[in-house]
Amino acid sequence: MLKKRFTLAAVGLSTAVALGLTGCAGAADAGEGGTDAATATSLADFGDLAALEEAAKAEGQLNVIALPRDWANYGEVLDLFAEKYPEITINEASPDASSAEEIQAAETNEGLDTAPDVFDLGLTVALQNTDRFAPYQVATWDEIPDALKEPSGLFVGDYGGYMSVGYDSSKFPAPESLEDLLGADYKGSVAINGDPTQAGAAFAAVGLATVQSGGTLDDFQAGIDFFADLNAAGNLLKVDVTTATVTSGETPVVFDWDYLNAGHREANPDWEVVILPGTGYAGYYNQAINKDAPHPAAARLWQEFLYSDEAQNLWLKGGARPVRADAMAEAGTIDEELFSNLPAAPDDTVVPTEEQSTNAGTLLGEKWAAAVG
């Protein structure tokens, strides 16, 4: 199951960006004056990128977790980093883990070489665990909208999209509203990507249902009620969503991010994706560095890579919207064809604030299980 994570809150999102068992290795020294990589807060602490690259190569390892290769083109992102830095072995752990499980892995492996160096998280989990992150501002920091980054660089938005409905067009008509999904045509057919108390895409599905049912992000009750009704109608399908379940027809209608739903088309040519009319729900995912990273220089090099033009365009190739889209479009470094081919953004888009996300997470923890059985 692709269970990634809670959305990043953002206020004042710009229109174009919004959608435009061994002991732990010691911290590496790098940069001018023998900088301790574990305390470096920017590239300047190393002196330059070449010095950071040398420090990371000397460590020779990078531990990543919860990065499904078919999620927003992560496979190509990982492969390009490996191609650029063959001296650094990427250890990919638990690709289908949730944000909460990422943090659990850091706790379980604390002090070991197996601990994650970096995280890819959503806001709710990030906010609960800021004491586990090392602040770091990448070289392209100024090109990341303020609304999409924690001021010191504890966690930073990277890529995002809109909540959508994917469906097998050979079996179902295109849904035009949430209410359509309550009909008999969709009996036992509608799935969400995970548990909204743990998984970001599922959390966002409830958020979308909330704002499309007359509610607001201040209170997710309307969204919970919608899924309770969907369950009561016999239409809610409680199956973990994967490309295999979509291909086999086991999950023929799916709430998920638009770039993930679009990724199923290669396996199922009849798969279509719709962003429902009305208010849209957007979200970004965040990068963070484990403050106890066993490979602190490699962790920071990974961050620099993720926010480079190369990697940002790879998110775009995966159908996601890169956080530096505005700046790259202005500089002429964005893949204009891919950028122009993104689905049209809703006229009215909402993204929860930090407080709204936290409150929604609490409400879901109290009421979701009882609502859907």
Q: Give me the CATH number covering residue 214.
A: 3.40.190.10
Per the domain annotation, does 361 fall within a domain?
Answer: no
- If asked whether residues 188 and 263 sit together in one domain, one would say yes
End position of a domain, from candidates 253, 279, 305: 279
Per the domain annotation, does 366 fall within a domain?
Answer: no
What would the 3-class secondary structure string for 256-311 be?
EEHHHHHCCCCCCCCEEEECCCCCEEEEEEEEEEECCCCCHHHHHHHHHHHCCHHH
**Cα–Cα distance list, 61 to 21, 288, 310 (Å):** 15, 17, 21
Hey, what are 280's tokens?
């849209």
> What's the CA dihedral at 168, 243, 238, 218 to 10 degrees?
-90
**What pLDDT, on the 0 to 100 scale, is given for residue 27?**
39
CA distance 324 to 307: 8
Enclosing domain of residue 22? 15-160+283-340
Taking a C-beta distance cutoff of 8 angstroms, is the pair 166, 241 a contact? no
**What pLDDT, on the 0 to 100 scale, is given for residue 347?**
83
Taking a C-beta distance cutoff of 8 angstroms, is the pair 234, 219 a contact? no
Taking a C-beta distance cutoff of 8 angstroms, is the pair 291, 132 a contact? yes
- If asked whether residues 199 and 251 sit together in one domain, one would say yes
Per the domain annotation, does 1 fall within a domain?
Answer: no
Per the domain annotation, does 362 fall within a domain?
Answer: no
- If asked whether residues 152 and 23 sit together in one domain, one would say yes
CA distance 28 to 25: 8
Q: Is residue 226 helix, strand or coil? A: helix
Beta strand 280-290 with 156-168 is antiparallel
Per the domain annotation, does 90 fall within a domain?
Answer: yes
Per the domain annotation, does 150 fall within a domain?
Answer: yes
Per the domain annotation, does 145 fall within a domain?
Answer: yes
pTM to 2 decimal places? 0.80
Q: Across-strand partners of 93?
A: 65
Taking a C-beta distance cutoff of 8 angstroms, is the pair 106, 113 a contact? no
- If asked whether residues 250 and 287 sit together in one domain, one would say no
Tally of domains within the chain: 2
SS3 content of the chain, % helix, strand, coil (to 5): 40, 20, 40
When computed from its CA atoms, the radius of gyration of the chain, rounded to whole angstroms, is 20
DSSP 45: G
Termini Cα distance of the chain? 20
- If asked whether residues 219 and 101 sit together in one domain, one would say no
Hey, what are 25's tokens?
């290795």
User: Across 12-132, where does the E strand assignment appear?
Assistant: 29-30, 35-36, 61-65, 89-93, 118-121
Query: 179: Cβ–Cβ under 8 A, 6 or more apart, which residues?
Result: none
Which one-letter amino acid corresponds to residue 130?
A: T
**What pLDDT, on the 0 to 100 scale, is given for residue 34?**
64
Place of tokens 């040398």: 54
| pLDDT tens track, the chain, 373 positions | 334 433 333 333 333 333 443 233 333 444 444 679 999 999 999 999 999 999 999 999 999 999 999 899 999 999 999 999 999 999 999 998 988 899 999 999 999 999 999 999 977 788 889 999 999 999 999 999 998 899 999 999 999 999 999 999 999 999 999 999 999 999 999 999 989 998 888 999 999 999 999 999 999 999 999 999 999 999 999 998 988 999 999 999 999 999 999 889 988 999 999 999 999 999 888 999 999 999 999 999 999 999 999 999 999 999 999 999 999 999 999 999 999 988 878 889 998 887 898 899 999 999 999 999 8
Kind and range of the H or E run holding 76? helix 74-84
**What pLDDT, on the 0 to 100 scale, is given for residue 7?**
34
- If asked whether residues 256 and 316 sit together in one domain, one would say no
Taking a C-beta distance cutoff of 8 angstroms, is the pair 213, 222 a contact? yes
Category of 227 on φ-ψ map: left (φ > 0), alpha (ψ -120 to 50) or beta: alpha
Taking a C-beta distance cutoff of 8 angstroms, is the pair 20, 320 a contact? no
- Can you spell out the DSSP letters for 136-187? -B-TTGGGS-GGGB-TTSSSEEEEEEEEEEEEETTTSPPP-STGGGGSGGGT
CA distance 21 to 201: 33
Counting Cα atoms < 13 Å in the Cβ hemisphere of 85 gives 26
- If asked whether residues 316 and 206 sit together in one domain, one would say no
Counting Cα atoms < 13 Å in the Cβ hemisphere of 321 gives 28
End position of a domain, from candidates 279, 300, 325: 279
Q: Across-strand partners of 287?
A: 120, 156
